[in-house]
A and B are shown apart, each in its own frame.
Chain A
């Protein structure tokens, strides 16, 4: 009782990554990019997607080298027992911060658009109970769910972006390569980090023989996500203009409000119905990541007990976070750093050490063979 399968197919991996990364990014990325890069936004996004695709490839390689194991199992072989514990605890704290932040975003979106009178605690109780229950069911079940949610989310968002490009003004995004904005590319790449934070969930997915092509597919997935982000940012700028995009908090939603779609008067509500599924899926994934890591660290504890403890902690933290007025500013300042550590630094370091160790083992084996002769 309490043990659920955690393997996923390559197709599920695509949707899992897609939804883990795009949770809230679709809504606030246009504003962030318009502020930092201007009309050249598409370029740092694509470049960042290549960087993250390489790192995701590394994580997949690590998983493939240790078939059937997750970070907690094979990490001790790479960095030793204590460092491995430290890394896993860091990831639990990291996923908890992300989960709390996403919950405040979810409450904010629901309050602003659908349930203005419902107090945050009521939304949080329902949400956290739901997320806890789904996390309890394990990675495989969440992955299956993302297959359905992912198709609807990608389809609706892409179609709406297509309409936005059709209805938007080309001169809002041109010139695509302004020499005056080239200097913005590197600083803007730093701002895209938040949008690509999420690849570290690969650490909680054990690979099987079915995932042989996973590294290459993950690489492609990240590039597709980069293109998807570029599409969202460019279509938003086409509709709103560069200055409006930089001014509005939820600029993608504001842009959707202007789109003329036959029959649908409130295009924003229509989108949010699907856009929220991505946020929900992101929360499912983050919750399952916390729980999987907690189950590994506290191996003797019951999964159900850990689920309840996790949910209570998340509820308390989310309640505190909803009362912090400048949480957006805090997140803007701190997230690039912690996401860079979680999504870039740790995977690169682990991969580098693993490769060095692998080479050293090979060399030792070769030397031993030579000695035998």
Chain B
């Protein structure tokens, strides 16, 4: 009987200990007691590193409208320093609560910052285990204050907006997403060439304005969003796009979906060549003339050929530009070559080899139509 009582007493004591000291009191931390960072915006100006740290404002979420709470959903703390350590220390001095980095949505770097400190900041990101690892890193050519002014007016978070825009465009097959971890992997590889989304202001809205070219760990180029068709065909995961083709005095709109994309590397007589194989499913949507179009099978073939040529031109232009204008393999053709020819790749300098690569294009287009078109008496539907 006594032994049983001792056992119960001991068990209660252990339970009490666990509840009080192991998970409860020691580690209890209210959400309001952390500065939940959503965006880190980095700038470099007049030899100084500038941090803009955007945080969720819990007071806004909890305030009942009477006193105390600020109206802003997100607060921004600006800190300046001659290096990252000093800038961060300066930021810490302005924070009333400990920083929580596991909710950061995006890191935004100004182009002038990225040109000098891109690598260092990515290394800093890797060394800080508290950082959320799915973060997007983007570059901006606009002034940070301008970007933050727009998001403040719209009561938005720059980090969330950036993340959402990139995700939406990726879903639509009009852009591609690269987490910061992938950028880190790329900068640690033997060859470094990549594209980073560039966010900016377009008609008073935050928007994707293009892509910054990172060549050999330096930001040294820019592809405006108006000139990326070919690049998207090579980089986006689920390419879906519309083309307007001129055929038989008509402008036809065609919806194109990429079905297959393979790159095959070849190495003969010390000459590298790449076979770019693409398969597309195209769908004729509408024309700009009054029906009937009297569209026959040969018309479909001719239109398919037209589309094929157009895609080939865009691809050749996009790859050619990377070879001549930027001298940067941001399409990661190096990986295709390395996988097939690891010994040769190890011996060569890809920076030198890339501009000399020959590309062969093998494009297949399967054109169909929708029922409203009077196309070939339904034969080619």
Chain A interface (Cβ within 8 Å of chain B)?
112, 114-119, 122-123, 125-126, 129, 169, 171-172, 174-175, 178-180, 239-244, 247-248, 254, 257-258, 260, 266
Q: Indicate whether A180 sits within 8 Å of B22 (C-beta atoms), given known contacts A241-B185, A258-B134.
A: no
B185, A126: Cβ atoms closer than 8 Å: no
16 further A-B contacts with Cβ under 8 Å, apart from A115-B27, A179-B343, are: A114-B23, A117-B26, A118-B26, A126-B17, A129-B14, A171-B336, A171-B339, A179-B342, A180-B342, A240-B181, A241-B185, A244-B188, A247-B126, A247-B188, A258-B179, A258-B181
A257, B22: Cβ atoms closer than 8 Å: no
B residues near A119, Cβ cutoff 8 Å: 26
B residues near A175, Cβ cutoff 8 Å: 338-340, 342
The yes or no answer to B60 lying at the interface (CB within 8 A) is no
B342, A244: Cβ atoms closer than 8 Å: no
What separation, in Å, do the CA atoms of A283 and B332 have in the docked complex?
A: 45
What separation, in Å, do the CA atoms of A79 and B364 have in the docked complex?
A: 74
What separation, in Å, do the CA atoms of A129 and B22 have in the docked complex?
A: 13
| A254 nearest in chain B by CB position | B133
A115, B342: Cβ atoms closer than 8 Å: no
A257, B133: Cβ atoms closer than 8 Å: yes
The yes or no answer to B182 lying at the interface (CB within 8 A) is yes
The yes or no answer to B8 lying at the interface (CB within 8 A) is no
The yes or no answer to B31 lying at the interface (CB within 8 A) is no
Q: For chain B residues 99-143, which have a beta carbon within 8 Å of chain A? A: 102, 126, 129, 132-134
B residues near A242, Cβ cutoff 8 Å: 185
B residues near A123, Cβ cutoff 8 Å: 22
A118, B27: Cβ atoms closer than 8 Å: yes
Chain A CB count within 10 A is highest, among B29, B185, B189, B342, for: B185
The yes or no answer to B309 lying at the interface (CB within 8 A) is no
A–B Cβ pairs within 8 angstroms, 5 of them:
A125-B17, A175-B340, A179-B343, A243-B188, A243-B189
Interface residues as binary, B212-241 with A (CB distance below 8 Å gives 1, 0 otherwise)? 000000000000000000000000000000
B22, A126: Cβ atoms closer than 8 Å: yes
Chain A nearest CB, measured from B276 CB (Å): 16
Chain A nearest CB, measured from B38 CB (Å): 14
Q: Which of A115, A169, A174, A239 meets B22, CB within 8 Å? A: A115
The yes or no answer to B169 lying at the interface (CB within 8 A) is no
Chain A nearest CB, measured from B126 CB (Å): 6
A257, B134: Cβ atoms closer than 8 Å: yes
A244, B343: Cβ atoms closer than 8 Å: no
Chain B nearest CB, measured from A88 CB (Å): 32
A112, B129: Cβ atoms closer than 8 Å: yes
A residues near B332, Cβ cutoff 8 Å: 171
A residues near B126, Cβ cutoff 8 Å: 244, 247-248
The yes or no answer to B9 lying at the interface (CB within 8 A) is no
The yes or no answer to B71 lying at the interface (CB within 8 A) is no
Q: For chain B residues 152-198, which have a beta carbon within 8 Å of chain A? A: 179, 181-182, 184-186, 188-189
The yes or no answer to B353 lying at the interface (CB within 8 A) is no
A240, B185: Cβ atoms closer than 8 Å: yes
Chain B nearest CB, measured from A107 CB (Å): 12
B residues near A257, Cβ cutoff 8 Å: 132-134
Chain B nearest CB, measured from A126 CB (Å): 5
Chain B nearest CB, measured from A255 CB (Å): 9
B21, A122: Cβ atoms closer than 8 Å: yes
What separation, in Å, do the CA atoms of A166 and B304 have in the docked complex?
A: 33
| B185 nearest in chain A by CB position | A241
| A133 nearest in chain B by CB position | B14
Q: Indicate whether A122 sits within 8 Å of B22 (C-beta atoms), given known contacts A180-B342, A257-B133.
A: yes
Chain A CB count within 10 A is highest, among B29, B129, B343, for: B129
B residues near A125, Cβ cutoff 8 Å: 17
Chain A nearest CB, measured from B235 CB (Å): 13
Q: Indicate whether A244 sits within 8 Å of B189 (C-beta atoms), given known contacts A118-B22, A180-B342.
A: no
The yes or no answer to B203 lying at the interface (CB within 8 A) is no
B342, A178: Cβ atoms closer than 8 Å: yes
Chain B nearest CB, measured from A243 CB (Å): 3
A residues near B21, Cβ cutoff 8 Å: 118, 122
A residues near B134, Cβ cutoff 8 Å: 257-258, 260
The yes or no answer to B335 lying at the interface (CB within 8 A) is yes
A residues near B342, Cβ cutoff 8 Å: 175, 178-180
Interface residues as binary, B1-43 with A (CB distance below 8 Å gives 1, 0 otherwise)? 0000000000000100110011100110100000000000000
A residues near B343, Cβ cutoff 8 Å: 179-180
B residues near A247, Cβ cutoff 8 Å: 126, 188
B residues near A118, Cβ cutoff 8 Å: 21-23, 26-27
Chain B nearest CB, measured from A242 CB (Å): 8
What separation, in Å, do the CA atoms of A266 and B14 have in the docked complex?
A: 30
B residues near A172, Cβ cutoff 8 Å: 185
Chain A CB count within 10 A is highest, among B21, B27, B133, B179, for: B133
A117, B185: Cβ atoms closer than 8 Å: no
What separation, in Å, do the CA atoms of A180 and B332 have in the docked complex?
A: 21
What separation, in Å, do the CA atoms of A240 and B184 have in the docked complex?
A: 9
B residues near A115, Cβ cutoff 8 Å: 22-23, 26-27
